[in-house]
A and B are shown apart, each in its own frame.
Chain A
């Protein structure tokens, strides 16, 4: 299961990554898309929406389940990935790159330090697999 090193992670399987100094992309991890299976639709906030860390900001629907997306950081939505409206399966095929959900402008860049590192997240996934 791929967990890129330069990304940050949440316990609810979102990833966040700096695109520029105060701009962060957000998406769903490979582990999450794999558990959900074939993703059939995604829903996220609109451009300009203020979002708050820990709050639900959207929904990811697969054929078999629906999962809330939780904001990994607080900020303002700069951009949404319109590609996913037409082809949500991109989240399955390329979760860390083409399958990004939104880009958020964040005031306090330090928020990112509070998220899990790739090592932390991998360790958590290891424990989840043990429980199965």
Chain B
């Protein structure tokens, strides 16, 4: 539960309750963990199209002549090189290289950006942005004004074309456009957290429920359905997309988390650069890897990874993969046991051990 006390409702709360969503407190909001069941919702996104209420995510605006400089200082990726209309996935690091949060930066222009941050980190991030870059531009937390609906799955582009009247070019990954929906401004971004095609729609709270209902109606023949937080987690886990608080945190850095491609050392200085340069020169001592269990038993956060009697790492996320029907996980494994193909064992809380193997990510590859 958040420090703000009682969990808030999103603009779509009534829609979830009417659809039979099981509401749970999450990051200060009451959100649906599931409707018909996690496995069925997961399959709906992999084979048709699903809607996610992700209104709990935070939206922070950077505006003014120093906006780009401010973001370049904060993030490890290079937003200066990106053209307007581009979305950039990036961590924000502490000076020692630990991850403050991971986020998507939407570049409208050199002087106008929106950053989508994790709900649980929203207040921490906003304070960090102000402390580290508040001298360079206006930074404003507008999370309370925005709802966000993710539309994901092989039929998501079809549904979004119907509802917003956009062309196929709108679904080029990591691009976005500003549109009008029934008189309300929206941002339609070709981003997501499932590995499937589709997008994420940012919309003002007062228009969100209308859009949700419209997507449900116009997607009926495509097999659209609402998807809860449970399936959101299994979908992202199969893709090895990091979940902040589980797989990455202030004690892990982007290089060992396997998102080193988001660290652009050649862009100039940024917070954490020196520590990350040092880490790169020294070499990694551990690495976040995908793990496939070769037996019965589901790995969970904190379970120990063993080679013989030696503890070589810990599970950070785990589930029964609904696509593969086998237990899978992510975890940090000490070098050299991190190599693909390495046989390891997972200690199921002392109950027994189950054999597993380090495998290539993603664990599941969606059809494109």
Taking Cβ atoms with an 8 Å cutoff, the residues of A that contact B are 37-38, 40-41, 43, 56, 58-59, 61, 63-66, 68, 132
- The distance from the CB of B48 to the nearest CB of chain A, in whole angstroms, is 19
B298 pairs with A56, CB closer than 8 A: no
Query: For residue A64, which residues in chain B have a CB less than 8 angstroms away from its CB?
Result: 33, 38, 230, 233, 319
What 20 new A-B contacts, CB under 8 Å, besides A61-B298, A63-B322, A64-B233? A37-B33, A38-B37, A43-B296, A56-B349, A59-B297, A59-B349, A59-B351, A61-B297, A61-B320, A63-B38, A63-B39, A63-B230, A63-B234, A63-B319, A64-B33, A64-B38, A64-B230, A68-B349, A68-B351, A132-B25
Pairs A–B under 8 Å by Cβ, sample size 6? A43-B296, A56-B351, A61-B320, A63-B37, A63-B320, A66-B298
Q: Give complex CA distance A17, B234 in Å.
A: 36
- The distance from the CB of A43 to the nearest CB of chain B, in whole angstroms, is 7
User: Does B300 make an interface contact (CB < 8 A)?
Assistant: yes
Q: Give complex CA distance A63, B318 in Å.
A: 10
Name the one of B39, B349, B351 contacting A38, with C-beta atoms under 8 angstroms: B39
- The distance from the CB of B9 to the nearest CB of chain A, in whole angstroms, is 15
Given contacts A64-B233, A68-B349, contact A37 B298 (CB under 8 A): no
Name the one of A38, A40, A58, A68 contacting B298, with C-beta atoms under 8 angstroms: A40
- How many residue pairs link A and B with beta carbons under 8 A? The number is 46
- Closest residue on chain B to residue A89 by CB atoms: B37
Query: For residue A43, which residues in chain B have a CB less than 8 angstroms away from its CB?
Result: 296-297, 351
- The distance from the CB of B116 to the nearest CB of chain A, in whole angstroms, is 24
- The distance from the CB of A97 to the nearest CB of chain B, in whole angstroms, is 22
Given contacts A37-B38, A37-B230, A56-B351, contact A66 B300 (CB under 8 A): yes
B351 pairs with A41, CB closer than 8 A: no
Task: Give the number of chain B interface residues (Cβ < 8 Å).
Answer: 19
Taking Cβ atoms with an 8 Å cutoff, the residues of B that contact A are 25, 33-34, 37-39, 230, 233-234, 296-298, 300, 319-320, 322, 348-349, 351
Query: For residue B320, which residues in chain A have a CB less than 8 angstroms away from its CB?
Result: 40-41, 61, 63
Name the one of B25, B33, B37, B348 contacting A59, with C-beta atoms under 8 angstroms: B348
Query: For residue B39, which residues in chain A have a CB less than 8 angstroms away from its CB?
Result: 38, 63
Query: For residue A58, which residues in chain B have a CB less than 8 angstroms away from its CB?
Result: 351
Query: For residue B300, which residues in chain A have a CB less than 8 angstroms away from its CB?
Result: 65-66
- Closest residue on chain B to residue A41 by CB atoms: B296
Query: For residue A65, which residues in chain B have a CB less than 8 angstroms away from its CB?
Result: 300
- The distance from the CB of B297 to the nearest CB of chain A, in whole angstroms, is 7
Query: For residue A40, which residues in chain B have a CB less than 8 angstroms away from its CB?
Result: 298, 320
Q: Give complex CA distance A58, B298 in Å.
A: 13
Query: For residue B351, which residues in chain A have a CB less than 8 angstroms away from its CB?
Result: 43, 56, 58-59, 68
Query: For residue B25, which residues in chain A have a CB less than 8 angstroms away from its CB?
Result: 132
Query: For residue B33, which residues in chain A have a CB less than 8 angstroms away from its CB?
Result: 37, 64
- The distance from the CB of B238 to the nearest CB of chain A, in whole angstroms, is 13
Q: Give complex CA distance A65, B233 in Å.
A: 12
Closest 8 CB pairs of A and B: A63-B38, A61-B298, A40-B320, A64-B230, A66-B300, A38-B37, A66-B298, A59-B351
Q: Give complex CA distance A34, B320 in Å.
A: 18
- Closest residue on chain B to residue A56 by CB atoms: B351
- Closest residue on chain B to residue A40 by CB atoms: B320
- The distance from the CB of B326 to the nearest CB of chain A, in whole angstroms, is 11
- The distance from the CB of A83 to the nearest CB of chain B, in whole angstroms, is 16
Given contacts A63-B319, A63-B320, contact A38 B348 (CB under 8 A): no
